[in-house]
Structure 1
């Protein structure tokens, strides 16, 4: 009986991948809102992690994130992702203004392969995610104003031998001139660990 209860509360590799993708969905939407990439009226409030988070209602953005995160979930389950980057670019000059890096590490006993599980309480993980998202929301206090029309893209850094879907393309790393970095808190499911940081153009 106790064994069955233990297994029931365990987080699987697939479950951990879903937790990471949910964090990225809310995190990316929060950044798009906080950084004013799209009009505030195109966002709607959602409750998660004990926070009120603004989520885009734009059909194209929702579809783009859904397809991207669905593919990412598969790659996280295969443990072939090193980093996810949200790139914010000046539409007119194509200059990269800001890059949000979500660095992925793999925790726990890797020898278990796809049978790996974590017994870390979900409440603890969600509290850790909440603390990161609070930092993301407060970042507007020190990040420079984006006073130009901007667009965003997502880059996923994988191992070299990954087969890319047809609609995906290899791309160059998005580097920023006069870069300044701020590292935020991390969270871990004890299977995946995510370190979040923002790199922005220092105007000084």
Structure 2
């Protein structure tokens, strides 16, 4: 009788990290943190994505995503926040928050490995498109930002006791938006790899 081998499909953490990579790039593009000319097309998981071309920013994002991938593999990732800040005042003017619940790696047989990997890629593509559309739609209701006066910071929240990376600075929480604030909720994302609940908070424009 032939032995039936089992494999662990460990692509879930990578998909979770890639999801946040292109979420970040889309926010930076749509919110005019960097001009259109600073982006290029990047192919990933059978899709064309907009990615930053600036080498310094790209290296920062790649290092960040590698660490998110490690936390996701250990199911230590809880939340990611992207704060947009005024260069002049150092005030947080917009904050995108993503609550994450990663799922464990799937165990399957040799017969179903290729099929399940294909389904996960299709799942990633579908949910990525859905997120991009949501960011585009919400961008239409958000205040217009001065492209020459905005920078960004990424805050990653993990479970207590998670392994720390020496390159990251520990902080209690991301800065909050001062004054009148509005909120917009994004539709929840549920993939084979993770659940994501998200919303954006932004400073109410003064008229």
Aligned to 1:76: 72
Q: How does the TM-score come out when normalised to structure 1? A: 0.82
Contact 2:83 2:174 in 1 (8 A): no
Contact 1:90 1:96 in 2 (8 A): yes
Q: Distance in 2 between matches of 1:37 and 1:188?
A: 28
Alignment of 1:166 with 2:162, yes or no, is no
Aligned residue runs from structure 1 range 1-204, under 5 A: 12=9, 14-46=10-42, 53-107=49-103, 116-117=106-107, 121-122=119-120, 123-147=122-146, 149-171=149-171, 172-177=173-178, 178-203=180-205
Q: Give the 3-state SS of the residue equivalent to 1:21 in structure 2.
A: helix
Deviation at 1:124, TM superposition (A): 3.1
Deviation at 1:34, TM superposition (A): 0.8
Q: Which runs of 5+ in 2 are unaligned?
A: 109-115
Contact 1:49 1:130 in 2 (8 A): no
Q: How does the TM-score come out when normalised to structure 2? A: 0.81
Aligned to 2:113: none
Q: Give the 3-state SS of the residue equivalent to 1:185 in structure 2.
A: coil
Aligned to 2:112: none
Give deviations 1:53-101, integer Å, cap 9, x for gaps: 4211000111001111101101011111110111111111110011111
Deviation at 1:46, TM superposition (A): 3.6
Aligned pair count?
A: 192
Structure 1 ranges of 4+ moved more than 6 A: none
Contact 2:181 2:203 in 1 (8 A): yes
